[in-house]
Structure 1
Amino acid sequence: MHPPDDDAWLLEHSRVLGDRIRAARARQHITQERLYLGAGISRNALQLIEAGQHNPTFHTLLRIARVLDVPLRDLVD
């Protein structure tokens, strides 16, 4: 299987990831502040991740999943 010629699929996956993080946070009534402080990232970084405009590291995703108490696969699958 060959990758697509453009990176539109990457942008779509980033948006889906951000949507899943935001939805998990909202379901649990967790504020952005609680999440970014708990994950050890900046407010701006979290806002960009939730907007699908940032490429978080694996470690950042693990931290976010831990604060949200969800398996990482639920965010990235």
Structure 2
Amino acid sequence: MRREQPPWVHEQRQTLGRRIRDLRVHRGHTQEAFAEMSNIDRRTFQRIEAGTSDPRYGDLLQIAVALRVSLDELLR
């Protein structure tokens, strides 16, 4: 059974999702094209950007590489 997470976890997921979206848009990619570039399922990528899903470490690495940023910069 999954325990409910504290509100700050949800806020941090949303902040990360906005950061990813802003970087993606700045680079001129659609969600669909970027999901394909980063080799992540489109729906999974949509949930990451929306802040409704906890991204896996491997997904974060793939997103950082596709955005040409370090993982540290992505998670700032």
Length-normalised TM-score, structure 1 = 0.86
Q: Distance in 2 between matches of 1:10 and 1:65?
A: 21
Structure 2 letter corresponding to 1:33:
E
Measure how far apart 1:67 and its partner are: 0.6
Residue in structure 2 matched with residue 3 of structure 1 by the alignment: none
Residues 1:19 and 2:14 are matched in the alignment: no
Computed over aligned residues only, the root mean square deviation of the Cα atoms, in angstroms, reads: 1.1
Q: Distance in 2 between matches of 1:34 and 1:70?
A: 18
Residue in structure 1 matched with residue 68 of structure 2 by the alignment: 69
Q: Distance in 2 between matches of 1:57 and 1:47?
A: 14
Identical aligned residues as a percent: 38
Measure how far apart 1:34 and its partner are: 1.9
Aligned residues: 72
SS in structure 1 of the partner of residue 51 of structure 2:
coil
Q: Distance in 1 between matches of 2:24 and 2:16?
A: 12
Gaps of 5+ in 1: 1-5
Gaps of 5+ in 2: none
Which stretches of structure 1, 4 residues or longer, exceed 2 Å deviation after superposition? none
Q: Distance in 2 between matches of 1:21 and 1:9?
A: 18
Measure how far apart 1:73 and its partner are: 1.4
Residues 1:54 and 2:53 are matched in the alignment: yes
